[in-house]
C-alpha cells in the first residue's frame, strides 16, 4: 500500500484520528530512567506498545534523537514499529528544506535509512525542494503550511501582491500542494491546531489532502474544533491526523508511564470522535 492507503486503513482499523508524537526528552523520563539518554529506545518502544491500537500514525521527531547521538536508537525504534505495529504508518518529523543533491540525501535518510512512510518538509525554497521526495511513489510528504507558533505570522500571513486576490502565503501554498505540486497524490499539509479558522481555510483550498495537525494537548489546541474544521465528509475528502506528544508521553513520571500514556491516548482518541468520520461510522454501526 502507498502511504495514504496505509493511513486510511489504520484510521479504520484503530477507529482513530490520533497521532502520537515521539519526542523523547530524557530530562522528562520517568524517575527510574530520568536523564538517561541510553533509554530513549526503551521509553519510546514502551509508548508504542501501549498505544499502537489507538492511533492512526506515529510521528518521531528526529531532533530529539540526534541531539542525544541516538540515531541508532531511532533506527531501532523504526524497526520495532515496523515489526510490532506494521499497520500504523510512521511520519518522520524532520522538516527538511534543502534543494538538489542535498535534498536527495535527506530523502534517502528518511525513506531508506529510517524506512519512514512519510516525512515533514519545509517547502519555502520552492518546488525543487520537495521533488526528490516525490521520487518515492509509495511515500508521503507533509508540507509546513500554517504552523502554530506565533512567529509563523512573519511569513505565512503575508499577502502575495502578484497573485489574483492577493492570497496569504499559506493559502498560496495550500493551492500548490492541492494542484501542480502533487504529482503522485503524495502530499499533505501541516496546520496547527491553535488556528481552527485557518484549518478550515486550508481545507477549502486543499479538499483532498491529509492534514497533519499538531498542537492538541499540551499546546492547548481544541480537539473537536480541529477535526470539525479539517475533515471533509464528501467522498474523496482529506482526512485529519491530530498529533499529541507531550500530553501522552509524560502523563506519568512513575513506572506506570506507559499505562498512563495509554489512558491519555485513549481519552484523546475519544475526544476526537464526536466531530470525526470515525465516530460517525462507529455510531452508525452500533445502531
Residue of 59, 95, 139, 283 with catalytic role: 95
Q: How many residues does the chain have?
A: 287
The question of whether 283 is a catalytic residue gets the answer: no
Which residues are identified as catalytic? 95
Amino acid at each position: 500500500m502507498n502511504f495514504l492507503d496505509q493511513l486510511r486503513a489504520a484510521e479504520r482499523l484503530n477507529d482513530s484520528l490520533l497521532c502520537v508524537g515521539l519526542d523523547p526528552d530524557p530530562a522528562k523520563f520517568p524517575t527510574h530512567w530520568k536523564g538517561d539518554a541510553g533509554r530513549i529506545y526503551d521509553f519510546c518502544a514502551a509508548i508504542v506498545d501501549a498505544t499502537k491500537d489507538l492511533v492512526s500514525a506515529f510521528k518521531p521527531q528526529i531532533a530529539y534523537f540526534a541531539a542525544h547521538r541516538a540515531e541508532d536508537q531511532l533506527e531501532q525504534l523504526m524497526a520495532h514499529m515496523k515489526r510490532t505495529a506494521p499497520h500504523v504508518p510512521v511520519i518522520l518529523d524532520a522538516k527538511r528544506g534543502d534543494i538538489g543533491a542535498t535534498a536527495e540525501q535527506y530523502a534517502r535518510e528518511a525513506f531508506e535509512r529510517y524506512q519512514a512512510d512519510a516525512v515533514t518538509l519545509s517547502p519555502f525554497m520552492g518546488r525543487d525542494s520537495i521533488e526528490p521526495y516525490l521520487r518515492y511513489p509509495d511515500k508521503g510528504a507533509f508540507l509546513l503550511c500554517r504552523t502554530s507558533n506565533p512567529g509563523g505570522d512573519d511569513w505565512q500571513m503575508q499577502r502575495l501582491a502578484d497573485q489574483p486576490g492577493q492570497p496569504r502565503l499559506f493559502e498560496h501554498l495550500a493551492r500548490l500542494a492541492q494542484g501542480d505540486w502533487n504529482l503522485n497524490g503524495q502530499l499533505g499539509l501541516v496546520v496547527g491546531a491553535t488556528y481552527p479558522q485557518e484549518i478550515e481555510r486550508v481545507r477549502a483550498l486543499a479538499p483532498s489532502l491529509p492534514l497533519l495537525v499538531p498542537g492538541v494537548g499540551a499546546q492547548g489546541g481544541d480537539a473537536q474544533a480541529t477535526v470539525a474544521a479539517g475533515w471533509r465528509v464528501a467522498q474523496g475528502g482529506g482526512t485529519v491526523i491530530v498529533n499529541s506528544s507531550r500530553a501522552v508521553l509524560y502523563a506519568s513520571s512513575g513506572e506506570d508511564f506507559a499505562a498512563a500514556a495509554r489512558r491519555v491516548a485513549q481519552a484523546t482518541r475519544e475526544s476526537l470522535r464526536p466531530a470525526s468520520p470515525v465516530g460517525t461510522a462507529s455510531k452508525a454501526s452500533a445502531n
